[in-house]
Amino acid sequence: MSECALCQPSPQHILWQDDFCRVVLLSEPDYPAYCRVELVAHIKEMTDLAPADRARTMQVVFAVESAIREVIQPDKINLASLGNKTPHMHWHITPRFSSDKHFPNSHWGAPVRVSEVQVLNDAIKQQLQNTVIARITCALNS
């Protein structure tokens, strides 16, 4: 699977990782705190996973969503798992604001307004990472 971008080491900032999956903070200036949960193994579909691994995946996704909501307080969170271009199991956790350039439409669609680019400073990135770690640890140990 050498052609799969998600099978390679991530060039993105890794907020958390274990031997099953990782949480990466994507560099998307229009969507601060946009994260992706990526499985380490090359798995194509959720139903290719054992039920316990499906549950584990969603525990991580929900923990990341919760951390983003706490730290940056978006108006909405979008969760998506498409994989049409990259058939490697991953989930997008996208914070949305009513002022973002695509809201209320998908952030993959045509812009509906010009919006101010938002950049997470180092303190907020660290707070997000600490909160992600705490939420995942709690979710996986409960």
What pLDDT does residue 83 have? 87
CATH of the domain at 10: 3.30.428.10
Q: What is the Cα 94 distance to its own chain's centre? A: 7
Collect contacts of 46-55 with beta carbons under 8 A, ≥24 apart: 46/81, 46/89, 48/89, 49/89, 53/20
Number of domains in the chain: 1
- Specify the pLDDT at position 118: 80
77: three-class secondary structure by DSSP:
strand
pTM score, whole prediction: 0.93
Longest dimension (CA), the chain: 43
Give the pLDDT confidence of 20-61 residue by residue, as tens digits: 999 999 988 889 999 999 999 999 999 999 999 999 999 999
CA-nearest of 89, 84, 91 to 34 is 91
Q: Which amino acid is at 31?
A: Y
| pLDDT at position 122 | 93
The whole-number pLDDT of residue 2 equals: 64
Task: Let me know if 7 is exposed, middle or buried by CB neighbors in 10 A (0-12, 13-18, 19+).
Answer: middle
Domain residue limits at 45: 5-140
Q: What tokens does 59 get?
A: 């525990």
